[in-house]
């Protein structure tokens, strides 16, 4: 049962524009949410996170928004750059399951010049 869902397998955005990647979750016990970025032939690398007590976290060009009532989070990348082209995984964890990360299936972002 997929508790974290990324319903868009792919997204194409022009360089300089905003990229918005979406993620939905079903488990109300999740209290920590993360985004990972993955290039081919590499492991995922941590990008940004947010705890359930916040609704927004910003780090440079990357902002994560959390809407707990809708069980939805999103990652905004502004402005998008060609180097941002990668697969982005949304992940969530809960204290009652030892904080093991539950991942979505990923969204492949292509930023075109």
Partner 1 sequence: DSGVTQTPKHLITATGQRVTLRCSPRSGDLSVYWYQQSLDQGLQFLIQYYNGEERAKGNILERFSAQQFPDLHSELNLSSLELGDSALYFCASSVAALSGWGYTFGSGTRLTVV
Member of 14, 55, 99, 112 binding partner 1 (CB under 8 A): 99
Write each residue from 4 to 23 as x if it is in contact with partner 1 (CB under 8 A), else as -, in one continuous string: x-x-----------------
What is the residue whose two structure tokens read 């902002």? 63
Backbone angles phi, psi at 7, to 5 degrees: -80, -10
Closest contact distance (angstroms) between CB of 82 and partner 1 is 22
Backbone angles phi, psi at 96, to 5 degrees: -75, 0
Interface with partner 1, residue 65, by CB under 8 A: no
Interface with partner 1, residue 45, by CB under 8 A: yes
In this structure, are residues 51 and 42 in contact, taking their beta carbons and an 8 Å threshold?
A: no
Interface with partner 1, residue 29, by CB under 8 A: no
> Rounded CA gap, 66 and 56, in Å?
6
Backbone angles phi, psi at 70, to 5 degrees: -95, -5
Q: Contact residues for partner 1 (CB under 8 A)?
A: 2, 4, 6, 32, 34, 36, 41-46, 49, 89, 91, 93, 95, 97-106
């Amino acid at each position: 049962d997929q508790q974290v869902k990324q319903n868009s397998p792919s997204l194409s955005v022009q360089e300089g524009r905003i990229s918005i990647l979406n993620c939905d979750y079903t488990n109300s016990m999740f209290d920590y949410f993360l985004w990972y970025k993955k290039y081919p032939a590499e492991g995922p690398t941590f990008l940004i996170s947010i705890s359930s007590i916040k609704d927004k976290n910003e780090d440079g060009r990357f902002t994560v928004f959390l809407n707990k009532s809708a069980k939805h989070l999103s990652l905004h990348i502004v402005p998008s750059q060609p180097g941002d082209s990668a697969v982005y995984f949304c992940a969530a964890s809960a204290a009652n399951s030892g904080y093991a990360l539950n991942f979505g299936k990923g969204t492949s972002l292509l930023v075109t010049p």
